[in-house]
Structure 1
């Protein structure tokens, strides 16, 4: 649950930020963890409380005095219900505000200290480029040594690599861009775009030496639609349960427009192929007429025909890959919005389910303290958390309804909680080791006697 703290600390420490700035940012980010910590707290405390009651025979004394377990659980059940309602309002009103503050601060840090994105001596993915710096130093980590920049491009675009001895981050006029001034280096470039295979073979490598070179990089992806001075407020994580309904409707409409656009493009591309296939079917000849025979074409033109055909196949495959990625991103974002909204309510219900499980387990195992109850609580919470992550990944891929995915962990654990509550009310010895030893004693004693008989033979 505190993994985010170590990740952020590793990224921010030693890079020009003050201790107060780091603590403030981590506080904003950690508030989001409350909605997962509170159910675990209720589970652990209920197991410890009722385990203490059972271990000190207080439950037995209450039952002998005519006080049932239901009556003992009822006041605490009311408190847990109140806590679950408080968690709903906390998740609905307070967490979005702190998410806005965290994104705002992250924007300011990314804009004023861009070196936080980079790790010296490692290749770092950057929008449109792969970058490596041998050394980053200075009060604001703005000075660089050993700069290597390679443009991200496919095999049909111009290739470009920049190497420089020194560099410096300089504030740009537009905060969505990162300005980098390089000193004493070379530009290696291959101009191969819009050239055929033979022209590429004859294309010589080019290198240009420079004393000073200014490069601008788009860092809007790093900022990730974060806000500054409340200018951007359309992030669904900044919204309440009711406000997210408007976002869902908007995403639905945008997705419909995109689906129709993609559909029209695919129909337009395939119409020529469909008409050609229909023409073949209508033809009386079993074999379609070839526009020309490849064997009769001269060698240079044959290479061009094959190269154009290969390019066409590559374009179709690349286009399909891009569309699949676009569709996946649309489905993932839509499902993420729905699951975020539903979990505002689902985590509140989890508090009640965990109380039923914890109180019942505590009264059955009759062990208090921080030993066995902690182990059992962690195991149950890990099961819940793994279920949560599993259905989340499945829903993001579009293979499960996001509403079902949001509530599935609760739907799995609720029957378990009801069953444990029933067993606790009927004084069932579910976790009594002696009971299971008695069941296996005949088999075990027979096995022991057989081993002793073999021993004395």
Structure 2
């Protein structure tokens, strides 16, 4: 019992240190990414704090398994460096027995993450998305930079040479409208304002004193110029996600727990079965039921009739197949998120199996060594996870293998390393790095003393 507490105590401090360090890194990255959306909005400290707290949820999901690996490497590396591993083995305690306490703790962490992923993480993601929507639509003109064309609105390129941030008044405006592919409209105006429609789905440009120049791509001889005293342009505002601003609305796959997504998958599967039944009926209808006597006069008529029927059936088949393909992608997308709810927590156990034997082999308990080795395994793990997720979403790999392949691969590697480290004493050295480095980079104390 004393040894169990001692081993767990050696893990606790590195684990907490790793969590705070990694969360700090992720938080800094998050703030750098979204700083342009937050600066100049006049937001209070409470709003910024809520946004950070909501986004801490996805950081915790990623950071906890990573911290487990770093802590395990530091704990077992430090114990090996102080010859405590050798002393414990001399008393008859095997490496398997030493790993049991952190394995038990990692199992508790995994269960906590499963609960967190299904109950807290979805609600936090939903709240974070709604809060970002509220921030985005507070002042839409802030996304415009004076004298620079903005491509934020699809199919529109907007230039305002002067912007009054207080009143949202734009001056000397030029708008390129590509919403109608056969033609291009260029709208110029002396001034205007930008605001959201009452249903928050359209971005309205209310222009004053300007002109509309219409060009036809297929025929450049067609040109028309219209002058106006006042003109309104309604542009799509989907990129600002104005549809939902209060809790309780539709949620994405990362804003749902596994039970809710399983219910959606079940509904999608029923829809898929209906599509398959419709496909079978459509295939059965693709037959020519009429067989009149083909004469010279009737041949052309019969050919046209058969051709028309085949074209109609071809379009029906294409629509059904497209719906089946979309349905399958939606099912795979939800299954990917369901598996991630459990695969990421399970990584805590896998990283114990990796970190414990590697820690005893390196015999180094410093954060630098642990972070360096952890980085390699993080890259391997996230490469498999992200690659598997993309392949699964495209239907090239089953969601199970796409998400669990990293855990299976590293789990097998961890078991092999644990067995090998328990049977014999293995020490990993990094002297080969000194051989790779140029001589000018190496530190030579004799040369410093002579100089």
2:263 aligns with 246
Alignment partner, residue 219 of structure 1:
237
Tell me, yes or no, if the aligned pair for 1:44 and 1:374 is still in contact at 8 Å: yes
TM-score (norm 1): 0.74
Q: Tell me if the contact between 1:183 and 1:210 (Cα under 8 Å) persists in the aligned partners.
A: yes
Range with bigger deviation, 365-374 or 40-49: 365-374
Distance in 2 separating the partners of 1:47 and 1:257: 53
Aligned CA distance change for structure 1 residues 242 and 396 (closer, same or farther; 3 Å): same
The Cα offsets for residues 220-239 of structure 1, whole Å up to 9 and x where unpaired, read as: 453175x3332414433332
**Which 10-residue stretch deviates more, 383-392 or 334-343?**
334-343
| Aligned residue number for residue 380 of structure 1 | 377
The one-character-per-residue Cα deviations of 1:249-273 (angstroms, maximum 9, x if unpaired) are 22334455667789999999xx7xx
Cα distance in 2 between the residues matched to 1:389 and 1:40: 16
Partner of 2:64: 38
Matched with 2:10 is none
Q: Deviation of residue 86 (structure 1)? A: 0.9
- Report how far residue 358 of structure 1 moved: 0.8
What residue number does 1:154 align with? 181
Task: Name the CA distance, whole Å, in 1 between partners of 2:131 and 2:405.
Answer: 35
* Structure 1 position 337 matched with structure 2 position 355: no
Cα deviation for residue 53 of structure 1 reads 0.5
Residue ranges of structure 1 left out of the alignment (5+ in a row): 193-199, 292-315, 438-457
**2:227 — aligned with what?**
209
Tell me whether 1:408 sits opposite 2:412 in the alignment. no
- Taking the TM superposition and a 5 Å limit, the aligned residue runs for 1:278-427 are 330-427=327-424
Indicate conservation of the 8 Å contact 1:328/1:397, yes or no: no
Structure 1 residues 73, 26: closer, same or farther in 2, change over 3 A? Answer: same
The alpha-carbon distance between structure 1 residues 266 and 125, as it changes in their structure 2 partners (threshold 3 A), is farther
Residues 297-335 of structure 1: CA distance to partner in whole angstroms, max 9, x if unpaired? Answer: xxxxxxxxxxxxxxxxxxx99x98x99987765444332
* Distance in structure 2 (CA, Å) of the matches to 1:147 and 1:326: 41
Structure 2: any 5+ residue segments left out of the alignment? 1-25, 303-313, 434-451
Quote the Cα distance in structure 2 between the aligned partners of 1:250 and 1:433. 55
| Aligned equivalents of 1:202, 1:367: Cα separation in 2 | 74
Report how many residues are paired.
Answer: 392
Shift of the 134–428 alpha-carbon distance from structure 1 to 2, 3 Å rule, reads farther
CA deviation map 1:336-373 (0-9, x unaligned):
21111111111111110011101111011111111222
Alignment-derived partner of residue 210 in structure 2: 185
Which digits, 9 at most, give the CA deviation of each residue in 1:91-141, with x for residues without a partner?
A: 1111111112112212322333333555551441424x2222345744468
Q: 1:202 to 1:228 in 2, by over 3 A?
A: closer
Deviation at 1:389, TM superposition (A): 1.1
Q: Distance in 2 between matches of 1:263 and 1:424?
A: 59
> Using the alignment, how far apart are the partners of 1:79 and 1:202 within structure 2?
73
Partner SS, residue 7 of structure 1 = helix
User: Residue 229 in 1 paired to residue 246 in 2?
Assistant: yes
Residue of structure 2 in register with 1:103 after alignment: 129
The corresponding residue for 2:7 is none
Alpha-carbon displacement from aligned partner over 1:22-53 (angstroms, at most 9, x marks no partner) = 44323322321211111100000100110000
Counterpart pick for 1:49 among 72, 75, 79: 75
Q: Give, in whole Å, the separation in 1 of the partners of 2:430 and 2:215.
A: 74
Distance 2:131 2:279 in 1: 37
TM-score, normalised with respect to structure 2: 0.74
Q: Does structure 2 retain, via aligned residues, the 8 Å contact 1:180–1:216?
A: yes
Instruction: Tell me the distance in 1 between the aligned counterparts of 2:265 and 2:364.
Output: 47
Q: 1:255 to 1:380 in 2, by over 3 A?
A: same
Query: Does the 8 A contact of 2:137 with 2:242 survive in 1?
Result: no
Matched, 1:11 2:8: no
2:193 aligned with 1:168, yes or no?
Answer: yes
Counterpart secondary structure, 1:249:
helix
1:30-78 superposed Cα distances (whole Å, 9 cap, x missing partner) = 3212111111000001001100001111111111122222222211211
Does the CA-based 8 Å contact 2:137-2:240 persist in structure 1?
no
